[in-house]
Structure 1
């Protein structure tokens, strides 16, 4: 091509094609530096130079080794394994034949980056023919065929530019420039995609936002370029432009110079250069239309270009012309390469789907869970079309692998269905537990519940396979719900017989009937079963623990025994329905202390043969003095089973009269300690931190030591507490504690490590405690009724 020294231009860029091509993304940097630095740095590591020698020429020092061979890094172990590979000992001719069977120079780059030895061998001048042949296989443009001649004013050729100097004799750098990935110029993320524009080294990722944002760094040249300054026009001839504006959105090829879109930074840099210009300041008159006065001003105008400047400009335009010819051909090759890859992918996918449909297989399962997925992937890497012969050859292998996968999937599905059924059964179990007061039923522990014959049917995989949910199977009035409740009732009756044998009931009315007679008697409300009476208590001899419901009593009634689940040996929680300590009636023994004190309580109240609910209500309405405590301690009737564990048998109790209650501090409500320790709400924290509690033991000791001092003047009495607005004041000998301070006081002074309701009293009622709220509500209702009666009588 002939370049005139006064004007030069490069071929018109290609028009954007109709087919849309996906382009790559990366950070803008010089391709030569990007390719050669990566490979040359790897090659230079073949002969490392010691950096620990003395600067004066002394003996090189050696760093001490702190790690043994068995703790070498994975990279070093891999490098050591590669060094012993026989592949490295192959002659060059055999190695060349192997590498020439690969698909593209990208495969050669991967081999060269495998280890130092292969990198050094493939970078040597003797292997350049391998790179050239692979370049010819894929059809890459030859960098040496592009040229441009520079002629003087008379048309005589004075100089020529031959080939793309960047890649002449550097096949490795050429391959890395075409096939390597890099960083996206906009977001900085690494991408495997090729350059979107080779001429301006533009690389962007697949994100559509990046290609839109990167467009702001480019400027486009239109037909009206004559409006620009001469410096700007000359700059457009010396810089590369994008091969096609199709890489940018919202652009088409309507204008002849549509493809002239260059980097704005490079364009401004070339415009500001003054190598070709020698500016001078001259005066040029300019008239002001608003006034008739001449107003001379100084402006800068370019002089004529010298011969040296024209020659430099011509050389720059010639080099740019060669570079643009090369990049346009390379850009066309890239589009063809990508379109071919897309055509191979679409063809192979269509054939694969047809093959799976013909065999009756699921295409996703065949592609993701058999070796056909790897075959499909490598067919795209090798750029080969899948044929029917390949399907015939792979059919037996795919069938066996699909069969194995389906069996594994079915097994996992069964496990998931079983787990879902177990969760539904657990919800049904909780529903029965919430309705037990309504239905008067007692439930076994959940592991035993799962062993009931009707519940076992709900755990069968066939139930889920038939699309019958547990929720619909156990709905109200269904036969399964009725069957389960009937089996629970039979289990409870068997538990009654087994636990009755552990009780040795004494006292009036306890041996009216022999144990075997209870099996022949219909349940009678006036004659309750012995295990259902308030004086029947047990303890677990396996784990000696209780659930939260029986935490106040520290022992188990019949309902608690049936629901009890022993703690695991290792202290770890197991899945629902699984236990290493199965339930058995032989795991429980009679609680002697609790049974004895409750038997005495029932005999004193005369409610031995009354139903459990009536007797329990009667017990909870009474207060008792524990004479085994010194001095005697006032205890709520519901706290007698738990308090009995502080004493050895026999425990002596005495029923408190109304006169005793008027001279004693009002005791706390039943269950207040359990509420303050186990209830994790903000209102409980408020009452814990409030100094509102007094020690009952200190009060009893001070009362016994100073009998002359009236108890009513020391602490709030029951009569004083009738006025809720009056705040009680402690005596000089007593202190107010917050709840945690009270617990520390009981541990240090009275050696009581587990606080109970009877150990303290409240100066002000805990209004947020549910039992206190109920009592206040009942008291308010009673006052309202009394007021209404008074008005009616008046």
Structure 2
């Protein structure tokens, strides 16, 4: 297979050490600082494990590495233990018996097989107190058969050097076994003593070996502490040469790898060694600093964007009713907001600064004025100006109703209620846009068109009320009318503002104005109730049967003006008779409206909430 073959790049590279003859490999490993390095190599692959672990032909490699160990040769192993198993016993890491942290030092006690971290004031003292048992005088008399074989701590306490320390769990188990044997009789005790005799015979030699090994371990641990302190001092010196902190130079991969490798091997830096990697370390430290600065800039930018969003929500919440606000993406495009958001310095003033707040208010006023002029042009009033105080601005009139051309083109409208007033149009963001498209979205008045159907409907209603859209009193006039406007198609009564939405429900829609007496018994419209229930922001429960259908609750009856039956020539008028309601849950009400009255999208004029008021019963029921 040639090197040009793409498949060749996916094959793992063969280690060069595996191609060396055993004699050359032994020569290479003769420079190992201790048998710990040979152990690490034997655990890298099956090949090295097979030729190094428990192989009599390579025992001399382990022996040579063990004898050349720093700070001194490791004591010879006991008979019957291979060099590889001996190295694994000494250098295999473990977890501290007390705190559970990883420990890279050899056993604190080889006899008891206990790893402890180098915190004598905490872990060692706690372990001695909680896990060890001191053999008492009465124990020596009562349980001499146990004392002759049980493993004990090979270290001597400075205060009680003659005491014997054993593990509590092993002592408790041994006492339990001996007591059971004694209950069975002398024969069982003799069998127990004979079973433990091999352990008793080997104990003196083992304890002497463990004492020598612990002495070497303590010397090795103190050397590691001294080596670590020397390496820290060297790291401080090297960081000064590069011009960074000690923490920053330790973030260099090549330096940190060499640093910890030398600590494990009890080696020291030489100036020649550091000179060979100094440029690489400096480049890695510089790249790390740049990444750190970039992360800090991104953090500041993200924090500023979050602060802008919070300030936008606060302004909208605390604003007076009727105050116009752009959408959040359009708000971010205001000059002062864009300047604040793009500043990556944490020392620059934020959006909440009082001076920035004043500029922001000016930017918002300019945006509102521009939006008013642009949307007025959409309604057919370009460059609208007037000196009369009796005429409303085109966007402040009831006929200021808009449609989004982008949403209609994508067929992502909100059903039959897809019109918007001036405030809603200013804050409109097309819901059908993806996140990527939304990031480049720009609000433009040209994306809107007049909602002709709603405008024609409200114009006719204003004529019924005896006013015009441009009249400054038109808003008060329609509000004083109340729920007296009746749809001729479905006989529902509503107020003038509901007409803008309701007219979308019918192909051809017309309205009449009822007399005050005729609409007196109609349940009132509770504006905003449908939206709060649909979006579950209301404290009301949807599963309670407290909702009534306004379609079923009222029925138009043709009656004579004098109260008698209608006859030819009599003046007739429409009278609404309220019937006994049928209470439903909100979801049941929605199903009822869809099935009985063909109402796909529920609105405030379609239902009402139960009230404590007398109801006239239906005579047909």
- The question of a shared fold, defined as TM-score above 0.5 by the shorter chain, is answered with yes
2:40 to 90, 107, 110: 110
Alignment correspondent of 1:95: 25
Alignment correspondent of 2:550: 696
1:684 to 536, 540, 543: 540
Alignment correspondent of 1:292: none
In 2, the alpha carbon distance for the partners of 1:133 and 1:387 equals 25
Aligned-residue offset at 1:542? 0.8
1:558 to 418, 422, 433: 422
Aligned-residue offset at 1:536? 1.2
For the pair 1:715 / 2:578, whether they are aligned, the reply is yes
For the pair 1:603 / 2:463, whether they are aligned, the reply is yes
The structure-2 alpha-carbon separation of the partners of 1:526 and 1:374, relative to structure 1 and needing over 3 Å to count, comes to farther
In 1, the alpha carbon distance for the partners of 2:487 and 2:351 equals 56
In 1, the alpha carbon distance for the partners of 2:133 and 2:107 equals 19
Equivalences for residues 495-506 of structure 1 within 5 A: 495-504=371-380
**Structure 1 contact 620–637 (Cα < 8 Å) conserved:** yes
Give the secondary-structure state (helix, strand or coil) at the position aligned to 2:497: helix
In 2, the alpha carbon distance for the partners of 1:636 and 1:378 equals 83
For the pair 1:352 / 2:235, whether they are aligned, the reply is yes
Alignment correspondent of 1:658: 516
Alignment correspondent of 1:220: 134
In 2, the alpha carbon distance for the partners of 1:205 and 1:109 equals 22
**Structure 2 contact 351–357 (Cα < 8 Å) conserved:** no
In 1, the alpha carbon distance for the partners of 2:134 and 2:12 equals 55
**Structure 2 contact 140–147 (Cα < 8 Å) conserved:** no
2:205 to 294, 312, 322: 322
Give the alignment's TM-score, normalised by structure 2: 0.81
In 2, the alpha carbon distance for the partners of 1:316 and 1:633 equals 101
The structure-2 alpha-carbon separation of the partners of 1:267 and 1:515, relative to structure 1 and needing over 3 Å to count, comes to closer
Alignment correspondent of 1:446: 328
**Structure 2 contact 547–585 (Cα < 8 Å) conserved:** yes
In 2, the alpha carbon distance for the partners of 1:656 and 1:217 equals 93
Equivalences for residues 173-252 of structure 1 within 5 A: 173-182=85-94, 192-203=104-115, 208=122, 212=126, 215-221=129-135, 225=137, 230=141, 232-233=143-144, 235-245=146-156, 252=157
Aligned-residue offset at 1:361? 1.0
Give the alignment's TM-score, normalised by structure 1: 0.64
In 2, the alpha carbon distance for the partners of 1:640 and 1:529 equals 21
**Structure 1 contact 370–402 (Cα < 8 Å) conserved:** no
* Structure 1: tracts of 5 or more residues without a match: 1-76, 144-163, 246-251, 281-301, 505-513, 717-729, 767-794
1:737 to 584, 605, 609: 584
CA shift digits 1:568-624 (9 cap, x unpaired)? 434x598xxx53432111110110111112222233334436676x53343233234
- The structure number with the bigger radius of gyration is 1
In 2, the alpha carbon distance for the partners of 1:591 and 1:358 equals 73
**Structure 1 contact 668–762 (Cα < 8 Å) conserved:** no
CA shift digits 1:374-421 (9 cap, x unpaired)? 221222123211234444443322222222222222222222222222
For the pair 1:590 / 2:450, whether they are aligned, the reply is yes
The structure-2 alpha-carbon separation of the partners of 1:594 and 1:470, relative to structure 1 and needing over 3 Å to count, comes to same
Greater relative contact order (Cα < 8 A, sep 6+): 1
Aligned-residue offset at 1:133? 0.9
What's the Cα RMSD here?
Answer: 4.0
The structure-2 alpha-carbon separation of the partners of 1:557 and 1:345, relative to structure 1 and needing over 3 Å to count, comes to same
**Structure 1 contact 552–639 (Cα < 8 Å) conserved:** no
Alignment correspondent of 1:408: 291
Alignment correspondent of 1:372: 255
2:159 to 240, 249, 254: 254
Aligned-residue offset at 1:750? 1.8
Which moves more between the two structures, 619-628 or 208-217?
208-217
The structure-2 alpha-carbon separation of the partners of 1:648 and 1:568, relative to structure 1 and needing over 3 Å to count, comes to closer
CA shift digits 1:30-81 (9 cap, x unpaired)? xxxxxxxxxxxxxxxxxxxxxxxxxxxxxxxxxxxxxxxxxxxxxxx99x95
Q: How many residues align?
A: 577
Aligned-residue offset at 1:665? 2.6
Give the secondary-structure state (helix, strand or coil) at the position aligned to 1:384: coil
Which moves more between the two structures, 230-239 or 126-135?
230-239
In 2, the alpha carbon distance for the partners of 1:316 and 1:415 equals 66
2:60 to 110, 114, 129: 129
Which moves more between the two structures, 330-339 or 374-383?
374-383
Alignment correspondent of 2:495: 636
Alignment correspondent of 1:457: 339
Aligned-residue offset at 1:563? 1.4
Alignment correspondent of 1:670: 527
In 1, the alpha carbon distance for the partners of 2:610 and 2:331 equals 47
Aligned-residue offset at 1:354? 3.1
In 2, the alpha carbon distance for the partners of 1:94 and 1:611 equals 105
* Structure 2: tracts of 5 or more residues without a match: 1-8, 567-573, 614-621
